[in-house]
Structure 1
Amino acid sequence: MDGIEPYWIWLAAGLVLAGLEMVVPGVYLVWLAVAALVTGAIVFVSAPPVMMQVVCFVFLALIAVFSAKRFLRDTPIVSSDPLLNNRVARMIGQIARVTDAIESGVGRVRVGDGEWLARGPDLAVGQRVRIVGGDGGYLLVEPVTLIADEGTAPPTA
């Protein structure tokens, strides 16, 4: 190429890929940027033919991507809210009201502003239930006793 050394092209490509990593969500382009920057350093030192430069970039990109994949897979992601995407688990312990009678173990309950399919003992419309778990798209419920509802202790003898 006239006037431009090949290593400058690789270094510029690496910087552009690193810049795009800031704009595009994910962790993909950074590894290609690393491969391009290392290829640029190799081309600066040894000046291989263009085909060897491309092969070097491809191998370095594969090594970087697979190394990162292995490293990131072994690193656990710690969340401040582990139930963030598990709506059923977030509802365990909440009180709901039966909207469609639970008959033969299946009915509907209202939780907040939504209705959910529910499984539990047969209950009439309007009864209050406590969510105790989930089974696929169903909430597992149990009836709430009057004493637990009022928050009072049972009478002593």
Structure 2
Amino acid sequence: MFYLVAQVEGHSRDSWVGRNADRFLGRPTTERYLLSLYYSVSAFTGLGDGALFASTVPEAAFMILYLFFNLFLAAYILGTVTMLVVKGDERSKQFRERMSSLNEFSKTNELPPALHSAMQEHLDVTFHSDQAPDEQVLAIYPTAIRSIR
């Protein structure tokens, strides 16, 4: 689109293509579009070499729309990744809260260390077995034991 905007303007000296004419002159159209893609990606990431800036009204209008699109796209991606990380961590948070409650309960009621350790192990096994379906857990046992449940 950057190259198309410059092409519509007739590659004037004010356009970014005109300012960088030495990079574009004598190159095939595919290379010109590839260079334009490079410039647009560098503008998107903010790592450009300073050669891509709007100096004409159509370039400025397109650059505004382009940067708003990139801003909203980056916000959407960041929000989605954050939501996935937080959602995946909810089970771990519940486990930590239950373990903390168990520790407080043990301390308050002065449970023996052996009982406290057994309760922690049970909580850990329960947490990890909730993720696996019954068939997967029982698959290693003989059918006689599997039929008892």
TM-score (normalised: structure 1): 0.29
Q: Which structure: greater helix fraction?
A: 2
Higher RCO (CA 8 Å, separation ≥ 6 residues): 2
Of Structure 1 and Structure 2, the greater strand share is in: 1
